[in-house]
Chain A
Amino acid sequence: MLEPIKVIEGKAAPFRVENVDTDQIIPAEFLKIIDKKGLGRYCFYRWRYSEDGRLREDFILNNPKYRDATILVASRNFGIGSSRENAVWALQDLGIRCIIAPSFGDIFYVNSIKNMLLCIKLPEEKVRMLQEEAEKDILILRIDLEENSIRFRDRVIYFELDEAIRERFLKGLDEVELSLAYEEKIRRYEEGMKSFLLPKPRRFIHD
């Protein structure tokens, strides 16, 4: 069972790279690990570390100012590419709880929601404004899912979120459990399936 989330409050880091693909979030060589925990070490691996294993100063999350950020204010098309859910686990293990961006890769977005990593879509101008605010000075955001708001420095931005997604966060539901409630409908659907839809191994080529 996942813990319900009503409010996320934390420091925002401006993450101004467009089209961040999930290969960058977690390189394929770390996909061999059969464990969700501990992937944070490898998150943005090639951007965070130089070849000799030292922290790269030019990477935003290495900046002492943003190291403890829990919210990324990212740019367009965040999380495109590979379907690897490890990207979400790695970000979460790094401490990230919410990503704000103008758009997200479709599969990444779904993967995030399933793991209760909140992805908020905001218009480009608003994202840019938040990035600038976070660059100017330490920016603490308070994201409230009961009123779909982002509050900071006496200001507020409202965002849109699918009702079903909001409910999942507020209640922390186990999706498989929920879907199993449709078991009867699924069973009836299966009874009506044409037999040609069922794969039966017949003759193998070169057998």
Chain B
Amino acid sequence: MIFKDFIRLRLAGKSVFDKIWESHIIYEKEDGEALIYVDRHLTHEVTSPMAFEGLREKNRKVRRPDLTFAVMDHNVPTSDRLKPIIDETSAKQIAALEKNSKEFSITLFDLYSPYQGIVHVIGPELGLTIPGITLVCGDSHTSTHGALGALAFGIGTSEVEHVFATQTLWLKKPKKMLIKLEGKLDEVVTAKDAVLWIIRNIGVGGGIGYILEYDGRVVREMDVEARMTLCNMAIEAGARTAIISPDEKVFNYVKGRPYAPAEEEWDEALRSWKELVSDPDAQYHKTITFSLDKLEPQVSWGTNPSMTVGISEEVPDPDDYDDPKEREVVERALRYMGLKPRMKMTDVKIDVVFIGSCTNGRLSDIIDAARVLKGRKISHNVRALIVPGSQLVKRMAERMGLHRIFIDAGFEWKNSGCSMCIAMNEDKLRPGERCASTSNRNFENRQGPGGRTHLVSPIMAAAAAVYGRFVDIRELDLPTREEVVEYARTH
């Protein structure tokens, strides 16, 4: 019996997650909890101050400042950075990160750094995130980095302190869920729509205790930035993280980036990364396949990301639910959102449009939005802002001339940061305002007290800005990405 198990284990294939996990174990307890080595630790101003304080109290150091990187993103102004920060507590938090980075010899991308940006945008962009590593950050959307084949975990402040001091993390091995996305997406349907569809189907708790692995034709065809969107929102299904086996697209993406391995080290890295594919006979605790051929653009209607419908659908009616508990949940969400049962999604008018965040604040997202905005103006009822995910994204877009499309359309073109995704800076919804947002959380009050959030893709958000309501973007005549880039270059 034991012998047979042994054979089975030996023969069972491994997933990309298993491979990274096993190669990072420092020590494993009998109950399966393991001390895992951390190759990269990214940190930001909001979840780090108490962790640094903890180190100081016990007279400890950051074990590996060379593997630790800090950035200011959550709290930062997106307006003129030469002016002092008005909010005193924000200013304090920012000053604290500056002081702590200096004291503990950590590289900091501060407000004035040309590489400042949202932590999950700059990690991959600067080549800090590479395949096969373990990466942690005191932020739940750390799952984003899984798109490059890294094993990335969002952690709390106590764990941040633990990683500072030991460069390791105690983790219980999560269960594995394989999500296969098959078929072919409609040309205007994006990774954002796909991930909203997944969450809508498995629920906000469906991934609890799991790491999600994405695969299938749709995933393979996606560019690396789209895969980041897919992994980013795994946490919204309750999963602690997500991962995708790295392929040529990822290697090309990483190559040449500032912190990425170079020269002989590149060759060596590449050799090891090519082994990182999930074996065809890898074992999973659960496998779900979605066929996305007919997937519509998705819009969230409620107060968590699973409360989502397709653009041609209606808002649900509480009366359709037999379970009184479910009915109550729907009623509560509709009340907060100020929506009537069975309202058509295309009849929902909006006041604000926010394009940005670690979900959809990358160059490809900006290009997508520009496809809609080229030659169009936003509705006079709408206030619209675009907040590039990093200063580098912003500069690239400006070099390409894309910013003019947004400014001409009536958008505010801002400096990078988390901005209205979390409303810790001056970018906030006012009570009752309704926002089409490319961020990841439509929780009550997330974008400002009393604010109402609808999660959508950048193309959907841009279209909503133009029409002042949600529209089915499949009905619009849109230029391709290449055409809009060419247009921006020549105008």
Residue numbers of A with Cβ under 8 A of B are 18-19, 21, 23-24, 27-29, 31-34, 36, 46, 51, 76-77, 80-86, 88, 103-107, 110-111, 114-115, 162-164, 175-176, 179-180, 182-183, 185-186, 189-190, 194-206
Contacts and interface: CB of A to CB of B under 8 A. Distances in A.
Contacts of A24: 443-445
28 contacts: A21-B441, A23-B446, A28-B422, A28-B423, A31-B46, A32-B424, A34-B53, A36-B50, A76-B205, A82-B140, A83-B47, A88-B156, A107-B155, A111-B158, A163-B31, A164-B31, A175-B158, A179-B168, A180-B165, A185-B35, A189-B26, A189-B37, A198-B67, A199-B67, A199-B69, A200-B259, A202-B259, A203-B258
B13 interface: no
B304 A115 contact: no
Given A19-B205, A81-B441, A204-B114, 11 more contacts: A23-B443, A51-B449, A77-B208, A80-B304, A88-B156, A106-B239, A176-B54, A186-B167, A194-B272, A196-B268, A199-B40
Interface string B312-341: 000000000000010001000000000000
Contacts of A33: 89
Given A46-B445, A180-B165, A196 B265 contact: yes
Given A180-B165, A206-B114, A84 B47 contact: yes
A197 B133 contact: yes
A182 B27 contact: yes
B37 A186 contact: yes
Given A28-B422, A176-B60, A186-B37, A81 B26 contact: no
Given A103-B208, A182-B27, A195-B265, A32 B304 contact: no
A115 B27 CA distance: 23
A186 B31 contact: no
A149 B172 CA distance: 24
A119 to B, nearest CB: 13
Given A46-B444, A164-B33, A186-B168, A196 B269 contact: yes
Nearest to A77: B205
Interface in B61-104: 63-64, 66-67, 69, 74-75, 87, 89-90, 92-93, 96
B413 interface: no
Interface in B246-272: 257-262, 265-266, 268-269, 272
Contacts of B165: 176, 179-180
Contacts of A31: 46, 74, 424
A132 to B, nearest CB: 13
B294 interface: no
Interface residues on B, range: 35 or more
A85 B414 CA distance: 30
Q: Which 9 pairs from chain A and chain B are nearest by CB?
A: A111-B156, A114-B158, A32-B89, A77-B205, A196-B261, A196-B265, A85-B156, A85-B157, A199-B259
A106 B89 contact: no
Contact of B204 (A46, A77, A115, A201): A77
Given A32-B90, A176-B58, A186-B26, A83 B155 contact: yes
B93 A34 contact: yes
A75 to B, nearest CB: 8
A32 B138 contact: no
B431 interface: yes
B154 interface: yes
Contacts of B487: none
B156 A201 contact: no
Given A46-B449, A195-B265, A114 B159 contact: yes
B162 A175 contact: yes
A115 B167 CA distance: 20
A194 B270 CA distance: 12
A70 B138 CA distance: 28
Contacts of B47: 83-85
Interface string B130-147: 000100001110000000
A133 B92 CA distance: 46
Interface string B146-170: 0000000011111101100111101
Contacts of A195: 265
Given A80-B204, A83-B155, A182-B26, A105 B166 contact: no
Contacts of B27: 182, 185
Nearest to A18: B329
A113 B260 CA distance: 36
Interface string B18-45: 0000000011010101010101100000
Contacts of B154: 83, 107
Nearest to A78: B205
Interface hub of B115, B157, B449 (most chain A Cβ within 10 A): B157
Contacts of A114: 156, 158-159
Nearest to B39: A197
Interface hub of A86, A107, A203, A204 (most chain B Cβ within 10 A): A107
Contacts of A34: 49-50, 53, 92-93, 96
A106 B208 CA distance: 6
Contacts of A163: 31
Contact of A32 (B92, B161, B172, B450): B92
Nearest to A185: B26
A82 to B, nearest CB: 5
Contacts of A103: 205, 208
A19 B133 contact: no
A28 B139 CA distance: 13
Nearest to A47: B444
A51 B431 contact: yes
A115 B93 contact: no
B386 to A, nearest CB: 21
B392 to A, nearest CB: 7
A103 B205 CA distance: 8
B414 to A, nearest CB: 18
Interface hub of B26, B40, B262 (most chain A Cβ within 10 A): B26
Contacts of A23: 441, 443-446
A39 to B, nearest CB: 11
